[in-house]
Structure 1
Amino acid sequence: MANIVDPVWAFKTTSSLLVPHPTTSSVSSVAPIPTVTPNLPIYEKVGDAGVKTLWVVFVLMLLSTLAFIVLAWRVPVQKRLFHVITALITTFATLSYYAMATGDGSSFNHIVVKETKQHLVQHVYRQVFWARYVDWSLTTPLLLLDLAFLAGLSGADIFVAIVADVIMVLTGLFAAFATKESVTWGWYAMACIAYLAIVYVLAMNGRRTVAAKSSSTAKLFASIGGFTLVLWTLYPIVWGISDGARKWSVDAEIIAYAILDVLAKPVFGFWLLFAHGKNASSIEGFWAHGLTGEGNVRLEDDEA
């Protein structure tokens, strides 16, 4: 009688020969799968301290604007040139700080930082307040006009100073939104060169022209002009530490700029108006009286 083999037993027997069993050497030869940790982006943005600072400076600029308007009403229109310019400076600053405080005047700049040791790439998104640059493009030329009219600068000097000032602000804006570090510092260097042109016009030509005026005006220009140049020198230093090297947080940047803006605009304005506002030269003609007989249409000449 033939032997009957159980198929289940046969399958178990043959499968042990066909299917390899793991050995100690085979297990140790397989390397573990490394775990990948994602390099999450970093967001550098304003915090509570920065927002509160923006609102405080907004209120200060607004109150200063109202005060400058009241001071302008107390003098005749012929002597309101400095009052009008100073009021416009704080007006534009009020608008820009309101935009920044409400979150409508900023954007994020994407910066790629390469970490060579770990062979990783870090993506940084830093909040840049472009409303501040809009403010500077309008207020700094007006500040230069205040100083230029005080010193009695020529039209050529005023034109050069204002053009250099606009270049300084625009290159600062381009530097703030540059994605490469080399490009950032290239724009920054151009801004510093433009600033040196402003310093030359005020320090050299301004000092020479104001010498022809009264001694009180010359002393005022020397003090308030030196005060302005010191403050304006601190602006690029703050920029280089904050937006340039990113050593400061966005809140620290806001607080530093807020202090400089209050000193360079309201404090500058009150100083100028109280020291020179009533003693300013009278401006007649179109400024005080508009178009008189020179602007009238003479119908009798046309009929002839």
Structure 2
Amino acid sequence: MIKPTSTSHPVDPIPTVAPTPTEWQHAGDSGMRTLWIVFAVMVITSGVFALLSWNVPVSRRLYHVITTLITITAALSYFAMASGQGVSYNCVAVRDHHKHVPDTFHDVCRQVYWARYVDWSITTPLLLLDLCLLAGIDGAHTLMAIAADVIMILSGMFAAFGAEGTAQRWGWYAIGLLAYIFVIWHVALHGSRMVRAKGQGVKRLFTGLALFTLVLWTAYPIVWGVADGARRTTVDTEIMLYAVLDILAKVGFGLWLLFSHRRIPETNVEVGGWWSHGLASEGRIRIGDEE
């Protein structure tokens, strides 16, 4: 019989790789505290804005009503996020490289606060309406600016839930940026021409508020790009950055507008009819009236 001979070069065992568990990126204690703090700020600010309207005639409360609705909507959004609602996970597959075995993949799931986009789709059109009323922009340009703004916000939400590293995510991001250019054109450029007829005081106020809003709104897509887009920051850092921007864009904007509005009579927007006096008495049925 032929007996097998031993070899001096034993075969090494096949290397194995333990699968990497799913990585969860979610808000921590600092992020949750920030959400509750901003909720309280928005509630308090809404009360302040409501108090400021008490000594203003109903026909001149349009700015107060719009600005109060902005902070109330933001308060509801932050309450939803702080209480664990209005949030979902977007999972992407990440490649793990190895030397002697094929690459493996593991999932990275990050929290996406879709309640934030619901907030922005309501509050940013109201902010634009404030600016358009202040500058005296016509209804056609106002409507187009609001439509472009809604497209911008929805594009950001679709991009946040898009697949990682695909044209889907960054395509929506590009659509949102293009819509933002239309917002700037309809409000900033067209408004700067319309506001000249309302005097220097209104012109300075509109220019300051429009520039303030433009700078802040430009920061939003930058934060999105490094947070939801590239996932280079933690969820807590993302929450804090958006919190600062939201407070400045809503609370800061509202305080600046309402206090300046009280000092500049030319900013008044008189709204009569149903807004101030209700439905007229004509057409009501009265007992004893002839047919």
Q: Deviations over 1:157-177 (max 9, x none)?
A: 011001001100101000000
Runs of 4+ in 1 over 6 A off after TM superposition: none
Q: Which amino acid aligns with 2:6?
A: T
Secondary structure of 2:198's aligned partner: coil
Q: Which has the larger radius of gyration?
A: 1
Instruction: Tell me the CA shift for residue 299 of structure 1.
Output: 8.2
Instruction: Tell me the CA shift for residue 297 of structure 1.
Output: 4.3
What residue in structure 2 maps to residue 291 of structure 1? Answer: 279
| 2:108 pairs with one of 107, 116, 124 | 124
What residue in structure 1 maps to residue 269 of structure 2? Answer: 281
Q: Which amino acid aligns with 1:42?
A: E
Instruction: Tell me the CA shift for residue 204 of structure 1.
Output: 1.2
Matched, 1:51 2:32: yes
| 2:6 pairs with one of 12, 19, 24 | 24
Secondary structure of 1:112's aligned partner: strand
Q: TM-score normalised to the size of structure 2?
A: 0.91
Q: 2:195, 2:203 within 8 Å by CA — same for their partners in 1? A: yes
Matched, 1:146 2:130: yes
In 1, distance between residues paired with 2:192 and 2:171? 31
More helix by share: 1
Instruction: Tell me the CA shift for residue 149 of structure 1.
Output: 0.4
Q: TM-score normalised to the size of structure 1?
A: 0.87
What residue in structure 2 maps to residue 251 of structure 1? Answer: 236
What residue in structure 2 maps to residue 209 of structure 1? Answer: 194
Q: Which amino acid aligns with 2:116?
A: R
Instruction: Tell me the CA shift for residue 180 of structure 1.
Output: 3.3
Matched, 1:179 2:193: no
What residue in structure 2 maps to residue 190 of structure 1? Answer: 175
Cα RMSD after superposing both structures: 2.1
Q: 2:19, 2:104 within 8 Å by CA — same for their partners in 1? A: no
Length, aligned pairs only: 283
- Structure 1 stretches of 5 or more lacking a match? 1-16
Deviating more after overlay: 34-43 vs 59-68:
34-43
Instruction: Tell me the CA shift for residue 298 of structure 1.
Output: 6.3
Secondary structure of 2:163's aligned partner: coil
Q: 1:58, 1:94 within 8 Å by CA — same for their partners in 2? A: yes
Q: Deviations over 1:181-228 (max 9, x none)?
A: 221111100000000000111121100111110210111000011100
Q: 2:62, 2:269 within 8 Å by CA — same for their partners in 1? A: no
Classify 1:178/1:284 alpha carbon distance in 2 versus 1 (closer, same or farther; 3 Å): same
- Structure 2 stretches of 5 or more lacking a match? none
Q: Deviations over 1:242-287 (max 9, x none)?
A: 1101111101100000000000001110110000146323221121
